Structure 1
Amino acid sequence: MDDLVSLMTPRSPTNERPLLGVTVLVVEDSRFACEAVRLLCLRSGARIRRADCLASARKHLQVYRPTVVLIDLGLPDGSGADLIRELHLATPRVPVILATSGDDYMADLARDAGADGFLSKPIESLAIFQEMVLENLPTNDPNVPIRALPTGVVKPDPIAYRDDLAHIASILSMGTDDDTLAYIAQFLSGVAKSAHDEPMQKAATDLMELKKTSPSNVSHLADLVQDRLQACAQI
């Protein structure tokens, strides 16, 4: 009975787990990026839910009201800025709305839409993640003594990166129209940056910056994806 009471009793945040009681909805189509946020939440004491597109996020928000919504700006069914704007104007408002992207220049777009803050990918620092959430919580008390910031970083399972690459390989196999290539370039640019895969990030960025589709760049990107998938299969 004592153990059951202990489990049901609300716990207060601690220096080590300052986000106890916080629920984070991460709207992110990359499994690798989402895994990083999951680990950050786990280390910080927060609960996490995931939506991989705008439609899924909207369905989730009809049922649950998270404390924090962390929204990737590039999603398969539209811009994350649209969801940020909806949440910012909604009543009651989600307490903390954060945006994320591998492209730092998107920070102004996010703030103009109503985001409280912007996290640049890769999101892997415990200190940066915790401070971004805490400084935007309405209950944040400025009189609370300054705590020592954690120095750790999280390292997502490489299998999640493989899953992202397999997702892109599947899309590439179905066609490469301009809209599809724009999504592929944006997706891979962000996830490769999170995975510190510089050749993949450069190939994706090169494709994203072209005014017109280049068959050679598409082929190069597809080859890189297949090379990494084959390397994973051999491990």
Structure 2
Amino acid sequence: MNTESTTVAPQLAPVQPHQRGGTLLLVEDSRLTADYIRLLFRGAAGRLRRADCLLSARRHIALYTPDAAIIDLGLPDGSGLDLISEMARRLPRTKLIIATSGDPDREEDALLAGADRFLPKPFGTGAQFAQMLAPVFLGLRPAIKGAQPPTHAALRDDLYLALDLLNGVNARPAYAGQFIAQLACMTGDTALEHAAQTGDRAEITTLLRNRLRALPLI
């Protein structure tokens, strides 16, 4: 007999889309990913607010209850699972809590923590993103082919941050590894992804510096 259990995403109650207003809280440490989500969210009837760590996110939810939240599981000051658990228990509850990660194996943990949905990285054309948020925000559509990509400035910021986390004065190798793996996932950089998996700091450093040199100066 097969005794394995399967985690099933909870069914959301019908949600009336906001004609105006409404807030999406994005808890994401990567500027590149945040810019990408801003592009996907463009045109929706609502506001997007970003927090780049657990501390900042908790300051947000102490002031208001967002209508939806997208929470990255790997954050600089802890696990997004803790924030998901807190928001799932908080009253009034955020209508839609979405966990996101480049590691699809984290889905079960996210749902058990209280997330309503799981959004794997990379986001592709944004069809799944739009499908998840459409019940809450009007006007949300999948990104059209040829849409403007996130800026080089956002990618440059993430590359510099990765180098600093890896080799800086206050280096944080464990967090650096997960941040770089997520960055490689979002950019489709297989060489960087492989280096992050092996943990070869010298190779990762060389790849990050090469990626920076390849970016336009402006």
- TM-score, structure 2 length as denominator? 0.82
Please provide the CA RMSD for this pair.
2.7
Alignment coverage as a number of residue pairs: 200
Counterpart selection for 1:204 from 196, 199, 202: 196
Percent identity, please. 40
2:152–2:216 Cα contact (<8 Å) kept = no
- Find the aligned partners of 2:193 and 2:43 in 1 and give their Cα distance: 28
| Residue aligning to 1:222 | 205
Tell me, what secondary structure is at the counterpart of 1:115?
A: coil
Name whichever structure is richer in helix by fraction.
1
- Displacement of 1:98 in angstroms is 0.5
| Residue aligning to 2:39 | 39
| Residue aligning to 2:175 | 183
- Going from structure 1 to structure 2, the CA distance change for 1:25 and 1:150 (only over 3 Å counts) comes to closer
| Residue aligning to 1:161 | 155
Q: Which amino acid aligns with 1:39?
A: L
Q: Which amino acid aligns with 1:115?
A: A
- Going from structure 1 to structure 2, the CA distance change for 1:131 and 1:19 (only over 3 Å counts) comes to farther
2:35–2:150 Cα contact (<8 Å) kept = yes
| Residue aligning to 1:192 | 184
Structure with the bigger RCO (C-alpha within 8 Å, sep 6+) is 2
Tell me, what secondary structure is at the counterpart of 1:123?
A: coil
1:98–1:116 Cα contact (<8 Å) kept = yes
| Residue aligning to 1:210 | none
2:40–2:142 Cα contact (<8 Å) kept = no
Q: Deviations over 1:118-164 (max 9, x none)?
A: 101112433211211235x5x99xxxxxxxx7462652123211110
| Residue aligning to 1:30 | 30
Q: Which amino acid aligns with 1:37?
A: I
- Find the aligned partners of 1:192 and 1:24 in 2 and give their Cα distance: 25
- Displacement of 1:171 in angstroms is 2.2
> For structure 1, which runs of at least 5 residues remain unmatched after alignment?
1-11, 141-148, 208-216
Q: Which amino acid aligns with 1:224?
A: L
Q: Which amino acid aligns with 2:177?
A: A
| Residue aligning to 1:69 | 69
Tell me, what secondary structure is at the counterpart of 1:70?
A: strand
- Displacement of 1:46 in angstroms is 3.2
Counterpart selection for 1:171 from 165, 171, 192: 165
| Residue aligning to 2:97 | 97
Q: Which amino acid aligns with 1:161?
A: L
Tell me, what secondary structure is at the counterpart of 1:125?
A: coil
- TM-score, structure 1 length as denominator? 0.76
